[in-house]
């Protein structure tokens, strides 16, 4: 009899697990992906509204993950990729109510007004600051304050962590978010020395091995995210989901909620609820690809401590407010990617993406599209406000900086209740325990953005690795 595998959750993680299982095991496996929402994709969805292309979640992904390119090629959508404009390399911070470009080079850093001279001098002391013990986790704020000074936290890392994680710089773990900084401190005694050493090492490796065979000419081998490019698809990130869903059309069941999971002699019984009621479905192997807090109830009866650890990985909420304007109704030329806002600025919005400046075709000719983030770990209840309040808040905050001359022609509010999992202090130890305990439940696996990285690239890479391990066990 065929091995029966259930994937719970059809976000990019669950779909990518299923895609790889299908590829590796083909007809030898009976595969079902259950999705409680009406459409697959989870946080990822794109919709064209009155000519504007609005993203629900991610706007793109960096070109440094071969697993993502392989997936795209396997799905036959390589020619649908779009590369972000050169303009989008310019990113800004709001400091003292004005926009300042984030420096990308040492001369740029010397010239920037993001930090005053005293803070730049403190920054320059970094190579001389003693390193700390390897084992103890530390918040991003404590790490950065210790190595670069408190002002670097307030003006640079607080908005950065809001922008990437919708998170709290005082709570997020350095080891699990900016892991490379922690490693450089441990290896070289300094982040700055570590950066120079890595650049040198990489150049030497490239010289030695000559031109490496690449998965795709667009793939970047640079470890520096600032030198990588952001990619998307002509009709937005949902093209990836649509291609996965089409390939898995005989396997994905949307509008179906998994209510509970029970261990039986061989495998698991799932209580599956759809429009017609609840039934029991048996599967030999189950991959739970939901946010960790939503995975917890499934394992509570199998391992209460595992369930407890999963509930400790909380997700932050976030609202994305899309605003479309006639081009002449925004005074600022929007020459860049957009800007992030430190909490000290006293503004409720976390940041503003200048979406129509990043990728082509995001707004009708003569128009511009902004996407404004509100909420995050500092403001979890912000998404409870009604649409009008969120639009007014976003408009008020952005108007001060960008100068609106007319009303928006598009308003679109999206709420993510389980926005982004927070890799807070102790995440690495928690993850180790979660992995050990999950291995103790034969046939049960966890996938998703709650564990090894929140980016779409991380989700795709981890899904591929996990599917490989599962397939090995099945064959």
Ligand X SMILES: Cc1cc2nc3c(=O)[nH]c(=O)nc-3n(C[C@H](O)[C@H](O)[C@H](O)COP(=O)(O)OP(=O)(O)OC[C@H]3O[C@@H](n4cnc5c(N)ncnc54)[C@H](O)[C@@H]3O)c2cc1C
Contact 350, 307 (CB under 8 A): no
419 touching ligand X, by CB under 6 A: yes
214 — alpha (psi -120 to 50), left (phi > 0) or beta? Answer: beta
CB closer to ligand X out of 60 and 149? 60
Q: Which one of 63-71, 344-352, 377-385, 418-426 is the stretch in contact with ligand X (CB under 6 A)?
A: 418-426
Question: In which element (H, E) is residue 413 found?
Answer: strand 410-421
How far is residue 149 CA from its own chain's centroid? Answer: 27
CB closer to ligand X out of 190 and 393? 393
CB closer to ligand X out of 115 and 237? 237
In whole angstroms, how close is the CB of 87 to ligand X at the nearest point? 17
- Angstrom CA distances, 280 to 97, 257, 277, 390, stand at 57, 12, 10, 41
Contact 350, 375 (CB under 8 A): yes
In whole angstroms, how close is the CB of 166 to ligand X at the nearest point? 7
91 touching ligand X, by CB under 6 A: no
Tell me how many residues contact ligand X (CB under 6 A).
38
CB closer to ligand X out of 149 and 351? 351
CB closer to ligand X out of 112 and 311? 311
54 touching ligand X, by CB under 6 A: no
420 touching ligand X, by CB under 6 A: yes
Alpha helix (H) ranges present in 89-190? 106-111, 117-124, 140-148, 150-152, 158-165, 179-188
In whole angstroms, how close is the CB of 46 to ligand X at the nearest point? 12
How far is residue 157 CA from its own chain's centroid? Answer: 17
438 touching ligand X, by CB under 6 A: no
CB closer to ligand X out of 43 and 71? 43
Half-sphere CA count of 472, side-chain side, radius 13 A: 6
8 touching ligand X, by CB under 6 A: yes
13 touching ligand X, by CB under 6 A: yes
341 touching ligand X, by CB under 6 A: no
Neighbours of 198 (CB within 10 A): 17
Of 57, 159, 324, 376, the one binding ligand X by CB under 6 A: 57
Tokens 């002391």 map to which residue? 125
456 touching ligand X, by CB under 6 A: yes
In whole angstroms, how close is the CB of 298 to ligand X at the nearest point? 8
How far is residue 464 CA from its own chain's centroid? Answer: 17
Of 17, 140, 320, 377, the one binding ligand X by CB under 6 A: 320
Burial 131-150 (b: 16+ CB within 10 A, else e): eeeeeebbbbbbbbbbbbbe
370 touching ligand X, by CB under 6 A: no
258 touching ligand X, by CB under 6 A: yes
Of 285, 448, 467, 471, the one binding ligand X by CB under 6 A: 448
Of 6, 22, 25, 60, the one binding ligand X by CB under 6 A: 60
Q: Which one of 33-41, 65-73, 374-382, 433-441 is the stretch in contact with ligand X (CB under 6 A)?
A: 33-41
Neighbours of 261 (CB within 10 A): 22
350 touching ligand X, by CB under 6 A: no
Q: What is the largest CA-CA distance in the chain?
A: 71
Tokens 């670069």 map to which residue? 148
CB closer to ligand X out of 41 and 149? 41
User: Cα–Cα distance between 48 and 38 in angstroms, integer?
Assistant: 18
Structure tokens at 244: 């996965």
Neighbours of 30 (CB within 10 A): 15
Structure tokens at 136: 């103890």
User: Cα–Cα distance between 161 and 174 in angstroms, integer?
Assistant: 11
Alpha helix (H) ranges present in 50-114? 66-75, 106-111
Site pattern 293..312 for ligand X (x: CB under 6 A): -x------------------
Of 242, 330, 454, 471, the one binding ligand X by CB under 6 A: 454
Residues 260-289 that bind ligand X (CB under 6 A): 289
Orientation of helix 304-311 relative to helix 427-439, angle to 10°: 150
> Which is nearest to 45 in space by CA: 241, 234, 248?
241
CB closer to ligand X out of 190 and 449? 449
42 touching ligand X, by CB under 6 A: yes
Neighbours of 247 (CB within 10 A): 18
Q: Which one of 55-63, 120-128, 325-333, 375-383 is the stretch in contact with ligand X (CB under 6 A)?
A: 55-63
Residues 189-228 that bind ligand X (CB under 6 A): none
Of 334, 459, 470, 471, the one binding ligand X by CB under 6 A: 459
Q: Under the rule (CB under 6 A), what is the footprint of ligand X?
A: 8-14, 34-37, 42-44, 57-61, 257-258, 289-291, 294, 318, 320, 416, 418-420, 448-449, 454-457, 459
């Amino acid at each position: 009899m065929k091995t029966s595998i259930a994937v719970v959750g059809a976000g990019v993680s669950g779909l990518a697990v299923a895609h790889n299982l299908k590829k590796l095991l083909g007809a030898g496996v009976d595969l079902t992906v259950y999705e409680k929402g009406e459409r697959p994709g989870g946080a990822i969805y794109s919709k064209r509204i009155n000519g504007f292309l609005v993203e629900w979640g991610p706007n793109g992904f960096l070109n440094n993950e071969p697993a993502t390119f392989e997936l795209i090629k396997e799905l036959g959508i390589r020619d649908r990729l779009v590369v972000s404009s050169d303009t989008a390399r310019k990113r800004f911070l709001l400091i003292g109510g004005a926009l300042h470009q984030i420096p990308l080079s040492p001369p740029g850093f010397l010239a920037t007004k993001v930090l005053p001279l005293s803070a730049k001098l403190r920054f320059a002391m970094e190579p001389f600051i003693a390193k700390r013990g390897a084992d103890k986790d530390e918040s991003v704020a404590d790490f950065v304050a210790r190595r670069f000074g408190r002002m670097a936290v307030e003006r640079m890392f607080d908005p950065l962590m809001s922008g990437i994680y919708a998170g709290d710089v005082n709570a997020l773990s350095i080891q699990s978010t900016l892991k490379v900084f922690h490693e450089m401190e441990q290896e070289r005694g300094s982040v700055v020395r570590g950066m120079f050493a890595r650049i040198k090492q990489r150049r030497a490796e490239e010289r030695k091995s000559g031109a490496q065979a690449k998965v795709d000419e667009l793939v970047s081998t640079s470890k520096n995210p600032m030198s990588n490019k952001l990619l998307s698809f002509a009709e937005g990130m949902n093209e990836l989901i649509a291609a996965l869903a089409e390939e898995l059309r005989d396997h994905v069941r949307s509008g179906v909620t998994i209510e509970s999971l029970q261990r039986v002699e061989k495998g698991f019984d799932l209580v599956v609820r759809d429009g017609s009621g609840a039934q029991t479905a048996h599967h030999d192997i189950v991959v739970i690809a939901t946010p960790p807090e939503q995975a917890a109830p499934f394992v509570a009866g199998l391992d209460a401590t595992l369930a407890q650890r999963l509930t400790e990985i909380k997700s932050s909420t976030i609202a994305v407010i899309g605003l479309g304007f006639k081009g002449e109704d925004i005074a600022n030329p929007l020459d860049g990617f957009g800007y992030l806002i430190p909490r000290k600025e006293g503004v409720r919005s976390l940041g503003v993406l200048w979406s129509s400046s990043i990728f082509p075709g995001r707004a009708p000719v003569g128009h511009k599209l902004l996407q404004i983030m509100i909420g995050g770990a500092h403001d979890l209840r912000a998404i409870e406000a009604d649409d009008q309040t969120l639009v007014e808040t976003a408009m008020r905050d952005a108007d001060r900086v960008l100068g609106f001359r007319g009303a928006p022609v598009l308003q679109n509010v999206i709420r993510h209740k389980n926005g982004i999992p927070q890799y807070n202090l102790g995440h690495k130890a928690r993850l180790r325990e979660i992995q050990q305990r999950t291995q103790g439940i034969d046939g049960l696996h966890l996938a998703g953005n709650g564990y090894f990285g929140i980016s779409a690239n991380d989700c795709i890479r981890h899904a591929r690795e996990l599917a490989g391990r599962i397939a090995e066990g099945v064959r």
